[in-house]
Amino acid sequence: MYYIGIMSGTSLDGVDAVLVSFSGSSFVLLRTCFIPYTQPFRLALLGLNQSGENELHRSATLSNQLSELYSEAVSRLLGQSGMTSQEIVAIGCHGQTVRHCPQPGNGYSIQLVNGALLAELTGITVVTDFRNRDIAAGGQGAPLVPAFHYEMFAHHDIHRLIINIGGIANITSLPVSGRVSGFDCGPGNMLMDAWCLKHTGMAYDRNGEWAASGRRIDLLLEELLSFPYFSQLPPKSTGREMFDLNWLQSCLSGNEIAQDVQSTLLQLTVRTIADAVRAYYSDAYEIYLCGGGAHNRALVAGLQRVLSDRKISRTDELGIEADWVEACAFAWLARQSVERAPGNLPAVTGATGSRVLGAIYPA
């Protein structure tokens, strides 16, 4: 049974798409595709993270443009594999998050994608809107990938942690016994990318080299770490609404050296991940990284220093390359939805129970 998973994350770097097959409990990643966002398109999406002029029209227009881009990714996967659209059961498309506000009582999460248009363009059943059913059931709607992590990466003798470092960093605990848990630790690459773009014109800090050229500002780091989110108990999730350049600027004097701030932001990601590991999963020995941050050498080296008593590696070692784990997760979530099986973990999101996630647009 063949599925396609599409993920465009908080880092706003582009579209990850995968073609996978499921047979019983077995899983095979067959093909991958990445389409980068142009800088104007990225800025247009970023502009929707806050209210602005004519934002409903801009949202609808960008949803259509995104769906065309997603369709192009599907075409590339089919072209690589020699398969036809009729052979694909469904596409699981996360969409592009522009708002994530899961407050109890009136929470919501908005991911831009026109599922109907994507189904028309591809001729394949599309599953989208995975988060809001969990929110309707009292949950955070995120993180959603821990259920997939459990299916793919759990070990019967070893307590493992899967840490995804995308725009936001989130952690999944896969204990030998007991329930799976997880939450968003805080910013992953998001603040570093934004600061890097502002001061260097580069979309991200390759290998953390710019951060490594600076010196950590201890007073700034402690002020950032004092933000209430970091001491809030799980379940919890977050996004750009909480951690953006305005938040960072409010903590700066204006006299800081730019690369020193970047070094401090890298340490913020290291510390919030390490603090989460120590506070909640002190007995976990194996840590596997995925997401774009898994390629940031300075960031990984920082984690290895502060968590030197643990094994730290990439999910590549477990059979799925770090760059494709989230896209694979949404292919799996699409299968769960099509088969009317739960896709959330209440212990992770805080929902009142397991739920079938996603809205289905038949081919």
Average of per-residue pLDDT across 29-53: 93
pLDDT band at 11 (very low <50, low <70, confident <90, very high): confident
CATH topology of domain 146-318: Nucleotidyltransferase; domain 5 (3.30.420)
Quick one: pLDDT at residue 106? Answer: 86
Average of per-residue pLDDT across 282-289: 96
Torsion, CA 326, CA 332, CA 334, CA 336, rounded to 10? -140
**Is 49 a residue whose pLDDT tops 90?**
no
CATH number of the domain at 2-141+324-361, out of 2.60.120.310, 3.40.50.2300, 3.30.420.40, 3.10.150.10?
3.30.420.40
Give 123-163 pLDDT, tens digit per residue: 999 999 999 999 999 999 999 999 999 999 999 999 999 99
Give 257-280 pLDDT, tens digit per residue: 999 999 999 999 999 999 999 999
Q: Quick one: what percent of the chain has pLDDT higher than 90?
A: 94
Give 59-82 pLDDT, tens digit per residue: 999 999 999 999 999 999 999 999
Whether residue 356 contacts residue 340, with contact meaning beta carbons closer than 8 Å, is answered with: yes
Q: Quick one: what percent of the chain has pLDDT higher than 70?
A: 100
Joined tokens for residue 287? 């840590």
Quick one: pLDDT at residue 50? Answer: 82
Average of per-residue pLDDT across 268-296: 97
Average of per-residue pLDDT across 29-33: 98
Q: Are strands 286-290 and 160-165 parallel, antiparallel or unpaired?
A: parallel
Quick one: pLDDT at residue 208? Answer: 96
Q: Which residues contact 63 (CB under 8 A, 6 or more apart)?
A: 95, 112, 113, 114, 117
Domain boundaries, the chain: 2-141+324-361, 146-318
Give 228-257 pLDDT, tens digit per residue: 999 999 999 999 889 999 999 999 999 999
Task: Say yes or no: do domains 2-141+324-361 and 146-318 share a fold.
Answer: yes
**Is 186 a residue whose pLDDT tops 90?**
yes
Residue positions counted in the chain: 363
Joined tokens for residue 214? 């600076």
Quick one: pLDDT at residue 51? Answer: 86
Average of per-residue pLDDT across 316-341: 97
Q: What is the pTM of this model?
A: 0.94
**Is 18 a residue whose pLDDT tops 90?**
yes
Quick one: pLDDT at residue 25? Answer: 78
Report the helix count and the strand count for the chain, using DSSP H and E. 13, 12
Task: Output the average pLDDT for the chain.
Answer: 96
Which residue in 76, 68, 69, 46 sits closest to 58, CA to CA? 46
| The 311-314 sheet, strands edge to edge | 181-187, 168-174, 160-165, 286-290, 311-314
Average of per-residue pLDDT across 344-361: 96
**Is 84 a residue whose pLDDT tops 90?**
yes
Dihedral sign, Cα of residue 120, residue 125, residue 126, residue 130: positive
Quick one: pLDDT at residue 358? Answer: 98
